[in-house]
Structure 1
């Protein structure tokens, strides 16, 4: 699988390999959204990745959707992240911050003013929020006004500036998995009748405006966007997936951003279409068939050989194997990830997965 170990330029970075650590929520920040010393250790352990993409990080107070997730909208949060980026860089790594506004996937208990979450339309996700006191139904969100939309665009741009101030090498915008950008894309969650809803061109508008604003704020070479075509996570549905993402890619291509990150949901033919249409770097989280449970190194090497991607991302493999490149070169074995410790807790299931040489 030598394809996985070839260098690759991405934006202003030179990746030493094509193994990307996918963003994974771990819910181990303080309640004020500041990351901890354990977070710095966790990411530094995985600095042999070609690129690390951080866990989803809220760009604003109203952008939070889960307990104990980090932010990039306060001075304390920026300062706390500096310890993380410093540790990763000292270990020879590269790291982008994923900016994740969860939109309707939120709850009043997360916000100091107790107001409802925001969404493109007043349609609840149908999902629930975990809290230490029990599960809570996501409420119906407040439909965003055009002023709310403009504010959200500004918040993404401000958080991107904060990320660069915190020492990140760039940012990835989370346009996947049923969060705010994806909510605007899907016609099941976006039933607006103004310029942000209805037609494909209107529904991609928010994603394009956010990407453009962030690219203008920190430079397009520091910006990536993650999408998950056909993914019904958090209740988002799309009736026109191929047309939707073909139009989105066409609108984003002139911006010259560092990469497009595609999380496959078994739509391999659509991946081929997007690869052909996208002129820049494409990172793929490979799930070639609908029944592919987890992406594997073999899936990644196959995608690179076919020319479907320039780099490949993995999640659970990186979570449980901080020395993943070494293990791939050795043909394994691989640590198994423990789902019981995915979210919340201490160092267990976070920084205590052993390396081959341990």
Structure 2
């Protein structure tokens, strides 16, 4: 089974082609500091060829959703070091997904308060949960030229911090309607400077950040997550959507970053990524392609062949199946997950799912 075959470059070797997708579990108690629970959670799932740790914010004002981990303080770096050590002790590899929520946030979720920021002062439609209840998404503050420069530096420092914390690499979250995709999308970005207007300008910030990340970590330790056509968090379909992502893919190929990670949200009721688009992107980008989006062991195997993909990312199956790789290898059924424990809480629904051959260890 190709899904279980190893894959390697000169500097990155994975034991199989199964990726644990980044999933926010919102189990952080202190200000963005990963807990011992998260170390145990990820270590239990270290048989994945690659773990991509959950969305991790690069700054205080990037925490638009409450109780996300961060990687901008010494305490957060120390907390993540416990996670990476635990994963490495089990023979696993782990990247971290770097994110800034942009306009998908609220001052009640940002430590110390403060307004959400975005390319332009345009609110996203919808509401957001806060400790004081649900509120409409506010109008964000438009980033000044100096603030854009600071955002660039924050992502580069987060990359340095991730390496100091022992991560094997970093993934830039440019999907799901968060800040990097807000810059790429004309409905959220109506700037008239070098970061707005044309496709090239709208892609300028994520590409510039990736160039900096490559200079720090090396191309083999850098990836990006994209979600074309998903229409998440107030970013609806637009005429240049395919052209924008294909332009980006060609530039990413020149940078030789290790992977592009495509997030298809059709299993959650959103528009799918058209197969023809994936084929076009594959022509532009020649390094690893990771596909994510409601796969099971059979459809994952088919996708590796159909789309010439290199790896398949599994999300929710990894929540309730810490032994997912063994279940796939031994053709065992996947255990169902308790959706009521997906977010927040403690050990329940996080580290108490058993393996089919072993009891849970809490």
Q: TM-score, normalised to structure 2's length? A: 0.94
Shift of 1:131: 2.3
Partner residue in 1 for 2:107: 108
Shift of 1:307: 4.3
**CA–CA separation in structure 2 for the residues paired with 1:301 and 1:255:** 28
Could you list the per-position Cα deviations for residues 295-328 of structure 1 after superposition, in whole angstroms to 9, with x for gaps in the alignment? 2222211111224311110100111111011111
Structure 1: segments with no counterpart, 5+ residues? 287-293
Could you list the per-position Cα deviations for residues 265-314 of structure 1 after superposition, in whole angstroms to 9, with x for gaps in the alignment? 3321111111121021111114xxxxxxx222222111112243111101
> CA contact under 8 A between 2:106 and 2:130: conserved in structure 1?
no
**CA–CA separation in structure 2 for the residues paired with 1:11 and 1:176:** 28
> CA contact under 8 A between 1:186 and 1:238: conserved in structure 2?
no
**CA–CA separation in structure 1 for the residues paired with 2:311 and 2:111:** 40
2:13 is the counterpart of 1:14: yes
**CA–CA separation in structure 2 for the residues paired with 1:91 and 1:300:** 25
Partner residue in 2 for 1:124: 123
2:327 is the counterpart of 1:327: yes
Partner residue in 2 for 1:352: 352
Partner residue in 2 for 1:309: 309
Taking a change above 3 Å as real, the CA distance of residues 113 and 26 of structure 1, as seen in their structure-2 partners, is: closer
**CA–CA separation in structure 1 for the residues paired with 2:172 and 2:128:** 22
> CA contact under 8 A between 2:66 and 2:110: conserved in structure 1?
no
**CA–CA separation in structure 2 for the residues paired with 1:21 and 1:71:** 19
> CA contact under 8 A between 1:11 and 1:222: conserved in structure 2?
no
Deviates more, 1:276-285 or 1:302-311: 302-311
Partner residue in 1 for 2:269: none
**CA–CA separation in structure 2 for the residues paired with 1:7 and 1:105:** 38
What is the RMSD of the two structures over their aligned residues, measured on CA atoms?
1.3
Partner residue in 2 for 1:291: none
> CA contact under 8 A between 1:126 and 1:234: conserved in structure 2?
yes
Partner residue in 2 for 1:150: 149
Q: How many residues align?
A: 350
> CA contact under 8 A between 2:108 and 2:130: conserved in structure 1?
no
| Matches for 1:43-122 after TM superposition, within 5 Å | 43-122=42-121
| Matches for 1:257-268 after TM superposition, within 5 Å | 257-264=257-264, 265-268=272-275
Partner residue in 2 for 1:279: 286
**CA–CA separation in structure 1 for the residues paired with 2:82 and 2:10:** 23
**CA–CA separation in structure 1 for the residues paired with 2:173 and 2:70:** 14
Shift of 1:342: 0.7
| Matches for 1:210-221 after TM superposition, within 5 Å | 210-221=209-220
Could you list the per-position Cα deviations for residues 233-279 of structure 1 after superposition, in whole angstroms to 9, with x for gaps in the alignment? 11113412111111111122111111111113332111111112102
**CA–CA separation in structure 1 for the residues paired with 2:82 and 2:113:** 31
Partner residue in 2 for 1:289: none
Shift of 1:344: 0.1
Shift of 1:11: 6.9
> CA contact under 8 A between 1:8 and 1:16: conserved in structure 2?
yes
> CA contact under 8 A between 2:94 and 2:167: conserved in structure 1?
yes
Q: TM-score, normalised to structure 1's length? A: 0.95
Matched residue SS, 1:96: strand
Matched residue SS, 1:235: coil
Shift of 1:166: 0.4
> CA contact under 8 A between 2:108 and 2:131: conserved in structure 1?
no
Structure 2: segments with no counterpart, 5+ residues? 265-271
